[in-house]
Amino acid sequence: MQRKVITIDAGKCTGCGLCIPNCPEGAIQMIDGKARLISDLFCDGLGACLGTCPEGAITIEEREAAPYDERAVMANVVKGGPNVIKAHLAHLRDHGQTEFHQQALAYLRDHHLPVPDEAPAAPPAGCPGMRLRDRTKTAAAPAATDAAAPVPISELRQWPIQLHLLNPAAPFFANAHLLIAADCVPFAFANFHHELLRGKTLVMLCPKLDHDQEQYLAKLAAIFSTHHIQSVTVAHMEVPCCFGVRRLVDAAQKQAGSAIPVRDITITLEGTLHE
């Protein structure tokens, strides 16, 4: 069947192993000093490992692959103990994989294994700032307002927003209108929420100060290749270095083989908008 799975560029992989802990399914293992995808059966294609590779060696591709097998994955996961089980269940839940999550719980019950506490109020593992929040389906549509007046409510539809923290497989990218903005734009442009952010999924970055630009390129390419993106708006400051946002977007589209029209917006140092 055709489906999305990760692919690892052995030429870029340095064998650091940072991707291993972020794949509780056990799809990635270190072999001969390189990270390897050991089985299509174990890879769910959601890309939790993407943002952990400092070399950008991990991407998602769509190809002929064996169907993902949750029960086979669970047989592998339980070998790692309670913490690995909990991480895997959280991974499925946070990515909205309800069917696989139920299959995982059924496997634990069938094998008389304890089910970790998954109360919604429980604090997430790892950094709270990286916990995915998707408000696209629950947020009420804002009331119509004067286009010239700032809106007194936030138009933010998801969390996180910084590209370094974003998971390219996050569900809020599906059928999204993307706003890819330089970090300074919301501070310089007073009407940012109402005029630029409304109805869009936000990606923030700084092309000058942020390191790992290759990783940014790989993440943007993964977003473009994994999801149907309806539109892309790029917003940057008028200073020369900030035009790197547009260059990253163009390079990522080329790498992903996508051709989404881009609306390019420049914000002046006085806070005005130009296209």
Q: pLDDT digits over 51-100, tens only?
A: 678 888 888 888 898 889 999 999 988 988 888 888 888 878 777 788 88
Between residues 151 and 232, which one has the greater pLDDT? 232
pLDDT confidence band for 115 (50 / 70 / 90): confident
What separation in angstroms does the CA of 62 have from each of 11, 119, 219, 253? Answer: 20, 34, 16, 16
The pLDDT of 104-133, averaged and rounded, is 68
pLDDT of residue 124: 43
Residue limits of CATH 3.30.70.20 in the chain: 2-110
Tokens for 12, please give them: 């870029």
Whether the CB-CB separation of 70 and 107 falls below 8 Å is answered with: yes
What mean pLDDT do residues 179-196 have?
A: 95
SS3 string of 163-220? CCCCCCCCHHHCCCEEEEEECCHHHHCCCHHHHHHCCCEEEEECCCCCCCHHHHHHHH
Q: What is the pTM of this model?
A: 0.53
Burial of 129 (C-beta count, 10 Å sphere; 0-12/13-18/19+): exposed
Architecture of domain 2-110: 2-Layer Sandwich (3.30)
pLDDT at residue number 136: 65
Give yes or no for residue 134 having a pLDDT over 80. Answer: no
Q: Report d(CA 221, CA 155) in Å as an integer.
A: 25
Predicted local distance difference test score (pLDDT) of residue 125 = 44
